[in-house]
Amino acid sequence: MLKIGIIGCGTIGTCICKAIDDGLMEAEVYAIYDRNAENVERLQSSLVNLQPAVMEAEEMIKHIDLLVECASQEAVYEVVPAALHARCDVMIMSVGAFADERLFKTVYGIAKEMNCKIYLPSGAIAGLDGLKSAASEQIYSVTLTTQKPPAGLAGAPYVVQNKIKLDEIKSKTVIFEGKASEAVKGFPANVNVAATLSLAGTGFEKTKVKIIANPALCRNIHEITVEGAFGKLTSKVENVPSPNNPKSSYLAPLSAIATLKKIIDPLQIGT
Ligand SMILES: NC(=O)C1=CN([C@@H]2O[C@H](COP(=O)(O)OP(=O)(O)OC[C@H]3O[C@@H](n4cnc5c(N)ncnc54)[C@H](O)[C@@H]3O)[C@@H](O)[C@H]2O)C=CC1
Ligand SMILES: O=C([O-])CC(=O)C(=O)O
């Protein structure tokens, strides 16, 4: 049975544990960790069947097959290289960390050397299957347009640095337009999907991102347009926010669960 260790006991970590606790897949949550002890306790007390140990990544990687990062971009630096060195596969949610090319090259290099896999779930977007197929030929452009209710963008470094008053936005307003490399740094908790899109397609410098604060919305909308030798692909997901975290969409933990099921299942569907 796949032995998993989870870093981050917030919205996504809790959904993953609950899915395994409910018997949705054959996996063991060997250990969990969060720098916030209250979140560890809350997660532990929500489980009925599982009793994961609590230990830091350094220790858990000696015992597990797969390390799941669902914490923060910072955590990717802290735990992913060490996990790969210990020959653990890794699943990463805070994909925006890979806008740091040096980190990405290092992590990719260790994974190759150790014969390990790095899994990046689709998160809150749809269409990566088509983009991956399309990338076997020439791609002309990839664009992500994200719309969130203003509160879902609160605290983003770009918003703070540019003194954007989210509570004064009364109508649909474009607050950022630029490269994916800048978007994931300015909005680390909002557009990790831009990083996944960049890695699947044309890279961080060529992938374009537009972020819109829209007070009329109660959903997080991600629209993708890809043009290439294959033709044109458009996808739009109107995401219900996660119940405990308005920054994250509910489809994100569901995609993490689906990725785990794919790792375990002999049947592999899609690109
Ligand atoms: N790839 C994607 O499509 C998506 C990615 N995300 C990203 O996934 C990550 C987790 O998302 P949520 O569960 O919604 O966030 P959350 O805020 O609900 O939970 C994150 C948890 O990780 C803990 N944490 C943060 N940094 C840590 C560290 N260095 N070491 C240990 N614990 C740490 C926090 O204390 C918190 O309990 C975030 O980085 C988020 O931006 C979220 C949604 C979609
Ligand atoms: O969940 C979402 O809507 C997307 C998100 O936060 C991210 O990619 O970081």
Q: What is the pLDDT of residues 167-201, one digit of tens each?
A: 999 999 999 999 999 999 999 999 999 999 999 99
For the chain, the distance separating the N- and C-terminal CA atoms, rounded to the nearest angstrom, is 25
Largest CA distance in the chain: 52
Active site residue 63: no
What mean pLDDT is predicted for residues 99-109?
97
The per-residue pLDDT for 247 is 78
Q: Does the pLDDT of residue 16 top 80, yes or no?
A: yes
Q: What is the CATH number of domain 2-123+251-264?
A: 3.40.50.720
Cα 260 to middle of ligand 1, angstroms: 17
* 239 touches ligand 2 (CB under 6 Å): yes
Q: What is the CATH number of domain 128-245?
A: 3.30.360.10
The string of pLDDT tens digits covering residues 234-247 is 999 999 998 778 77
> d(Cα 78, Cα 27) in Å, to the nearest integer?
24
What mean pLDDT is predicted for residues 41-57?
95
Annotated binding site for NAD(+): 124, 192
DSSP string, 133-174: HHTTS-EEEEEEEEEE-GGGGTT-HHHHHTT--GGG--S-EE
Q: Are 245 and 207 in contact (CB under 8 A)?
A: no
> d(Cα 65, Cα 67) in Å, to the nearest integer?
7
**Where in the sequence of the chain do the CATH 3.30.360.10 domains occur?**
128-245
Both tokens of 125, joined, read 């977007």
Q: Among the atoms of ligand 2, which is closest to the Cα of residue 248?
A: 1
Cα 144 to middle of ligand 1, angstroms: 21
Cα 74 to middle of ligand 1, angstroms: 10
**Where in the sequence of the chain do the CATH 3.40.50.720 domains occur?**
2-123+251-264
pLDDT bin (cut points 50, 70, 90) of residue 221 is very high
Predicted TM-score (pTM) of the model is 0.95
CA distances (Å), origin 86, targets 64, 150, 257: 9, 41, 23
Residue 55 gets the label, from left (phi > 0), alpha (psi -120 to 50) or beta, of beta
Q: Among the atoms of ligand 1, which is closest to the Cα of residue 71?
A: 22
Cα 217 to middle of ligand 2, angstroms: 15
Q: Among the atoms of ligand 1, which is closest to the Cα of residue 9?
A: 37
> d(Cα 195, Cα 198) in Å, to the nearest integer?
5
Catalytic residue among 179, 185, 222, 247: 222
The string of pLDDT tens digits covering residues 252-263 is 999 999 999 999
The string of pLDDT tens digits covering residues 117-163 is 999 999 999 999 999 999 999 999 999 999 999 998 999 999 999 99
Q: What is the ipTM of this complex?
A: 0.98
Pocket of ligand 1 (CB under 6 A): 7-13, 34-36, 39, 70-72, 74-75, 78, 93-95, 123-124, 189, 192-193, 196, 242, 245, 248, 252
